[in-house]
Amino acid sequence: MKKRVVVAVSIFCILLMLMVVSVIDSLDHSYSDEPVESDLIVMLGGDAGRMEKVAELYKEGYSKQVLITPVVESEASSQSSALAMEYGIPKDALILDTEAESTYSNATVTMEVMEERNMDSALVVTSDYHIKRAKYIFDRVNEGRFSFRYIAALENGNRWYEADGAFYAWRTEYLKLWWYRFGLYHLTG
């Protein structure tokens, strides 16, 4: 009986420690690579900070092609071709994806585009709070075929934890990352 209690307490302590480490790790969204010249700049659909960063990288000459995945063509959209052109990216430099519905499908579409166009490298631009999950998914789907660098975009110059709704962003990313780690992303498309 005493042995069972010790085993149960030990297992509980180990699980508690793993959970605490997991939560602490989930608060670190500081990852961002230095950009290098690449075949493609990939903008994962989202807030306006992403488009601003993509336009900055394009103007600095890091790539001549920009993939928006997915593109949403509306006047209010922060991921439209019109906004990209407004930021100075010419129409002929844009590759527009209308199919992606998740970060997983962003990754698969990106790699299909790169394969079709004989590209080897890309800069993947997303928000700082989303970069950990995006990197995890792209690296997992990639299996070493392409060279990716991950560039964090800030919204209005602010880190994710300085924004309104920071707790919601943290909680959502934490849950989604574990959803992907458990391999359940196939259930969401």
Instruction: Quickly count: other Cβ atoms within 10 Å of residue 132's Cβ.
Output: 21
Domains and their CATH numbers in the chain: 31-156 (3.40.50.620)
Instruction: State residue 189's pLDDT score.
Output: 43
The amino acid that residue 112 corresponds to is E
What tens-digit pLDDT sequence spans the chain (189 residues)?
688 877 887 888 788 777 777 666 666 667 788 999 999 999 998 878 899 999 999 999 999 999 999 988 877 778 889 999 999 999 999 999 999 988 899 999 999 999 999 999 999 999 888 888 899 889 999 989 999 999 999 876 766 666 676 666 777 777 777 787 777 766 654
User: Could you give the count of Cα atoms lying within 13 Å of 67 in the half-sphere of its Cβ?
Assistant: 29
Structure tokens, 132: 């950990």
Q: Put the strands of the sheet holding 94-96 in their side by side order.
A: 94-96, 66-69, 40-44, 121-127, 147-153
Write the CB contacts of 83 (distance below 8 Å, at least 6 apart in sequence).
Answer: 48, 51, 77
Helix intervals (H) in 60-146: 81-86, 103-116, 131-142
Q: Which of 75, 114, 108 is nearest to 95 (CA)?
A: 114
Residue type, 45: G
Alpha-carbon span 27 to 20, nearest angstrom: 11
**Which residues are paired to 10 by β-bridges?**
none
pLDDT at 53: 95
Q: What is the pLDDT of residue 135?
A: 92
